[in-house]
Structure 1
Amino acid sequence: MNTFTEPEERQELRRQVAKLAAKYGRDYFAGKARAGEKTTDLWLEIGKNGYLGINVPEEYGGGGGGIGDVAAVCEELAAQGCPLLLMVVSPAICGTIISRYGTEEQKQRWLPGICDGTGTMAFAITEPDAGTNTHNITTTARRDGDGWVLTGQKVWISGVDEAQNVLVVARAEDARTGKVKPVLFVVPTDAEGFTANPIPMELVSPEKQFQVFIDDVRLPADALVGDEDGGLVQLFAGLNPERIMAAAFSLGLARYALDRATAYAKERAVFGQPIGAHQAIAHPLAQSHIEIELARLMNQKAAALFDAGDEMAAGEAANMAKYAAAEAACDAVDRAVQTHGGNGASQEYGIAGLLVATRVGRIAPVSREMILNFVSMHSLGLPKSY
């Protein structure tokens, strides 16, 4: 088998997802966003066709595939102008963690809805005062009889208004050592004491961001996902897929922008020939094609390592893929705008709006600076700088 080419099954998956997404397209997505509406019909059709939970085991309604498969779905949706941020969160982060660490009852309760789109789950880790430093989160979980009580707040939580539940990262005190440890809880969005306020954004997207307040939210014992002493291992089971999916999201947007720019450069004629004949236009677009393909290859490697169970190598590759994809996307969109000239700023051509969408990829879910810190320390063996 050619290890540098995806299996035929995944290539066919890409073709089918692209075909489905093309029925909707960028005009549909942008129209929903500007009208303040949701892309629920697209989301449910993806689920109905089995693409949404393709990484979840078959016995819970999924496709039995790996993170590489669901990343391919995410990328192809974005490449058709329909980037669905909750693909990163619900099936990839929450679906992976629950599949790996949930009890049989928890899997039966939550995974089918994640797979068919009717039980979307958000993910809450970031806090206003902790930022990138997840060791400093202050959302606490304390025992209360047979259950738990959660208190704290989260910020930049995607899609709370579309989710039935949120997988919340909290910290609890270890009764034996007195030290705090990360713990994971599934919290219903309609739970008493749980409130979410939308954050006004410059980014025009159907998917909203929220600040979440958790005020003495009482949870039953079976809201706890995984071993309460499992620590960071359980958390990072979701964070490596998050990086792989973020890279796929950026790559899809980069491909969309490059496709639009290339088509325009072939059609737009100035000085007697298409502008794509000029190296000032052609070379930047060619450069973007190279950058996108390099990032796609690294993401393919990251997904393969993760699906093979090599967490350490997957973490390094996922960080590098996410970095490379975000850079490639920002460059591709900037070059696409430049290729379109004045038309690049118009709603008609739909390129300028991607400037903000791709720029966020350099910040979330982990900043480019933290990835450089990771590579400096873990890949190169340099002293820790923070």
Structure 2
Amino acid sequence: MSFVESEERQALRKAVFDFGSRYGAEYFTAKARAGEKTTELWAEAGKLGYLGVAVPEEFGGGGGGIGDLAAVCEELAAAGSPLLMMVVSPAICATIIARFGTSEQKQRWLPGFADGTTKMAFAITEPDAGSNSHKLATSIRREGDEWVLGGRKTYISGVDEADAVLVVARHVDSKGQRLLPSLMIVPTDAPGFEFQPIEMDIVSPEKQFTLFFDEVRLPSDALVGAPDAGIGQLFAGLNPERIMAASFSTGLARNALARATEYVKTRKVWDTPIGAHQGLSHPLAQCAIQIELARLMTQKAAALYDAGDDRGAGEAANMAKYSAAEAATATVDQAIQSHGGNGLATEYGLGALLGASRLGRIAPVSREMILNYVSQHTLGLPKSY
């Protein structure tokens, strides 16, 4: 057992951080506030192979694991250039297709994931069901050689910049009974598929959407895996999503902590750096500890997943996502407090991190649902819902 990442992983982290720093927070925030996309950043990251580190080598990827992709996600966020679509496209969608897709689906999609030329959104959340896969109303049924998709999804990221959406729907059999969840690849230009933006106060180039599927007809090869594969196949993508969300949060927290640390070193009151006072140094030290603990759990979750231990990875991924979101929320708050009035000045960029850090406690799974999971699966307590 080693608590130190390999030299290759450390080298990857340094290279990605240096790359992300060339763009940095000013570039990212300016794009977000202007309603523009970070197209140049994504494209260069793809060309350099960073987006495809976990895609199998035979399809042009790096052949690494989710731990490598999570390291890329964290370092970009730490450099001030967080990419939310990394949590979705190369993590959830590419992982599911690599594990369960047909050879034709792998050839069609994985090379694009590897070089960043393809983006795919992921849609599970519904207005009346949240992320409860047992209550999903979006359905597919078979008609001849086609699938017919109907329903709605909400709070789906990045649909306007995606080539397709991997949609979770419940298969309806010939008797009208809803079976276990299925996964369908839906092109964003498919007839009958519409999406509308949701106005958000979060400063982010990635937008959120409500999706409408009105008798969308799809070819037979739109199905990924078995038609009623259920929770097992679904969580092959959701555990990486939690690991990536944790890395997104820890990277964001590191960025906020670095800004706060630099500020309290140089800001002087009565000829003394304010960082010399325990009222500021201790809270920032606590944030540093929280971040490192969350990073360790995230690395454990990634190691378990890459080792094929889906059950162990599920528990660790949930814990990692919870702890990382709490660390990010606390760190951004303390960074703002450490700056005093400057903490909410546009010049210092911390106010823009508020929404993103807080979102980690809600999505892709809420902190309350994680506590439910740990209560039931770790502690063996009765199910509460």
Q: TM-score range by the shorter chain?
A: over 0.9
Structure 1, unaligned stretches of length 5 or more?
Answer: none
**Could you say which residue in structure 1 is the equivalent of 2:344?**
345
Preserved CA contact (<8 Å) 1:323 1:368: yes
Query: Once the two structures are superposed, what CA deviation does each residue of 1:320-354 show, in whole Å capped at 9, x if it has no partner?
Result: 00000000000000000001000001000001111
CA distance in 2, matches of 1:263, 1:52: 30
CA distance in 2, matches of 1:181, 1:112: 30
**More off after superposition, 172-181 vs 236-245:** 172-181
**Could you say which residue in structure 1 is the equivalent of 2:274?**
275
Preserved CA contact (<8 Å) 1:174 1:181: no
How much does 1:175 deviate? 5.5
Preserved CA contact (<8 Å) 2:157 2:209: yes
**Could you say which residue in structure 2 is the equivalent of 1:89?**
88
SS at match of 1:362: coil
How much does 1:112 deviate? 1.1
Query: Once the two structures are superposed, what CA deviation does each residue of 1:335-377 show, in whole Å capped at 9, x if it has no partner?
Result: 0000100000100000111111100000000000000000000
**Could you say which residue in structure 1 is the equivalent of 2:258?**
259
CA distance in 2, matches of 1:23, 1:83: 13
**More off after superposition, 116-125 vs 177-186:** 177-186
**Could you say which residue in structure 1 is the equivalent of 2:115?**
116
**Could you say which residue in structure 2 is the equivalent of 1:382?**
381
How much does 1:117 deviate? 1.6
Query: Once the two structures are superposed, what CA deviation does each residue of 1:62-117 show, in whole Å capped at 9, x if it has no partner?
Result: 11000000000000000011111000000000000000000111000011111212
Residue identity opposite 1:147 in structure 2: E
Preserved CA contact (<8 Å) 2:193 2:212: yes
Preserved CA contact (<8 Å) 2:170 2:178: no
**Could you say which residue in structure 2 is the equivalent of 1:199?**
198
How much does 1:229 deviate? 3.1
Q: How many aligned positions are there?
A: 385
**Could you say which residue in structure 1 is the equivalent of 2:30?**
31
**Could you say which residue in structure 2 is the equivalent of 1:366?**
365
Preserved CA contact (<8 Å) 2:194 2:211: yes
After superposition, where does 1:203-282 map in structure 2 within 5 Å? Answer: 203-282=202-281
Residue identity opposite 2:33 in structure 1: R
SS at match of 2:150: strand
Alpha-carbon distance change, 192 to 53 in structure 1, aligned in 2, over 3 angstroms = same
Residue identity opposite 2:189 in structure 1: D
How much does 1:176 deviate? 9.2
After superposition, where does 1:317-336 map in structure 2 within 5 Å? Answer: 317-336=316-335
How much does 1:134 deviate? 2.0
CA distance in 1, matches of 2:284, 2:341: 18
SS at match of 1:50: coil
CA distance in 2, matches of 1:207, 1:7: 32
Preserved CA contact (<8 Å) 2:133 2:181: no
Alpha-carbon distance change, 232 to 91 in structure 1, aligned in 2, over 3 angstroms = same
Alpha-carbon distance change, 179 to 193 in structure 1, aligned in 2, over 3 angstroms = closer
How much does 1:132 deviate? 3.2
After superposition, where does 1:54-65 map in structure 2 within 5 Å? Answer: 54-65=53-64
Residue identity opposite 1:135 in structure 2: H
Query: Once the two structures are superposed, what CA deviation does each residue of 1:295-327 show, in whole Å capped at 9, x if it has no partner?
Result: 000000000000000011100000000000000
TM-score, normalised with respect to structure 1: 0.98
CA distance in 2, matches of 1:382, 1:121: 37
How much does 1:179 deviate? 4.8
Identity of counterpart residues, as a percentage? 69
SS at match of 2:346: coil
How much does 1:133 deviate? 1.7
Aligned-CA RMSD value: 1.1
Preserved CA contact (<8 Å) 1:46 1:52: yes
How much does 1:144 deviate? 1.1
SS at match of 2:351: coil
Residue identity opposite 1:86 in structure 2: M
Preserved CA contact (<8 Å) 2:171 2:228: no
**Could you say which residue in structure 1 is the equivalent of 2:14?**
15
Q: Which of structure 1's runs of 4+ aligned residues deviate more than 4 A?
A: 174-179
TM-score, normalised with respect to structure 2: 0.98
